[in-house]
Structure 1
């Protein structure tokens, strides 16, 4: 699966994707969008956890400005980046972004689309799009509000505030700030913990959590499916047997 802009490692329970455009600080271009869609296809056909990170001390410093400069109304209406990030957000199994260095513009929006974010002390999140005469149209205008609240979202989106690792941790954007050398190790440990859960339970928990509005009937239907699963019986039998010993 490895392409011109990504390094992709497929494991039994997870896929690890590293953004690699060092000459452009991992800026997201059309080739990277295409290759990330290919990763999504693989994960939709065989659901697994996803770890997304950036190479060379940068997560992604934005979308490719040279390509954006040439896009017009028709390309905007295609939602080139937003459709990809929505697809990543809707992947069946949980996704983790391990962010080292800049995650700006489209890079920040890619991180926002993941379920959980870890950061190195060098991580910086921001959305400077209005300074280029455009808006953060690939999810930041509503995803960041949902993650951090309207006040902080407007500070980032309207006033150009950048969130360093400490800000991101304090505000809840990232789950943990980890020394750079330990970032991927800690991300894998998080995925290991997730992988010990029932895969169907993880999928349905993510689906219900992301469902707009929420409703008790949705919870009931998802639980009904899990109550009839063999995985539930095996795991509860093992729990009960352990409790008796």
Structure 2
């Protein structure tokens, strides 16, 4: 892959955006590569860590030179939004590790992940209205879900940027690290915590949380019924009880 660097680990993929000369701008080739990553994780479910590399930038947005030339049929093709929706729907949890700017489509890529960890110099923003378009790759519905309708509308209407401290305060990110060199360590630690759980329980929990309200409580009941019959559940509960048993 030319726009991504991939590191495979037994329980996760580490995917690094690798277009530093373009500020990791998201173009059609990068979107095609993200689809390949999704296909791999759909076929072989694992955790995902998505980061922007060591250049001090996560992603500066869509490639404006390409975006300027797109017409209505390109918009209806959902070029970016389809890839981001696929990331959002991956079977296992995803973490975005954000250092520096995550703007426009870059911010929407981060929103598509389940969790976000960032450095103190991270910046998020949706400048689309200032370019004559809207944030059409997920921000109009994912941002309100993350930070509330009022705050989301302000950011989408004005294009105002949010620094790391505000992002943490309003719930846009889960953790902030002071030093860029600590970012991946902390992001991996979050995934390590997730990996302590039963993979099937984690997968079904994500499915339940992401399901529409109408699916509850039926989805929860069916998922729990599956887990109650899982050998992993019996093993883990037996180990828990044996640890608590008086010696």
Short-chain TM bin: over 0.9
Q: Which residue of 2 aligns with 1:71?
A: 70
CA distance in 2, matches of 1:160, 1:83: 23
Q: Which residue of 2 aligns with 1:171?
A: 170
Q: Which residue of 2 aligns with 1:190?
A: 190
CA distance in 2, matches of 1:143, 1:196: 27
Q: How many residue pairs end up in the alignment?
A: 243
Q: What per-residue deviation string (whole Å, max 9, x for no partner) do you get for residues 204-239 of structure 1?
A: 000000001151121110100000001101111111
Instruction: Give SS of 1:161's match.
Output: coil
Q: Which residue of 2 aligns with 1:32?
A: 30
Shift of 1:46: 0.4
5 Å-filtered alignment, 1:31-180, equals: 31-55=29-53, 56-179=55-178, 180=180
Q: What per-residue deviation string (whole Å, max 9, x for no partner) do you get for residues 147-168 of structure 1?
A: 1111111111001211100000
The reply to whether residue 228 of structure 1 matches residue 226 of structure 2 is no
Instruction: Give SS of 1:158's match.
Output: helix
- Runs of 4+ in structure 1 off by over 3 angstroms are none
Instruction: Give SS of 1:51's match.
Output: strand
CA distance in 2, matches of 1:16, 1:207: 22
Instruction: Give SS of 2:68's match.
Output: helix
Shift of 1:129: 0.4
CA distance in 2, matches of 1:87, 1:45: 13
Question: TM-score when scaled to structure 1?
Answer: 0.98
Instruction: Give SS of 2:108's match.
Output: helix
5 Å-filtered alignment, 1:202-221, equals: 202-213=202-213, 214-221=215-222
Shift of 1:58: 0.4
Unpaired stretches in structure 2, ≥5 consecutive residues: none
Alignment root-mean-square deviation, CA: 0.7
Q: What per-residue deviation string (whole Å, max 9, x for no partner) do you get for residues 103-122 of structure 1?
A: 00000000001000001001
CA distance in 2, matches of 1:31, 1:161: 29
Instruction: Give SS of 1:8's match.
Output: strand
Question: TM-score when scaled to structure 2?
Answer: 0.97
Q: Which residue of 2 aligns with 1:13?
A: 11
CA distance in 2, matches of 1:215, 1:193: 26
CA distance in 2, matches of 1:177, 1:37: 28
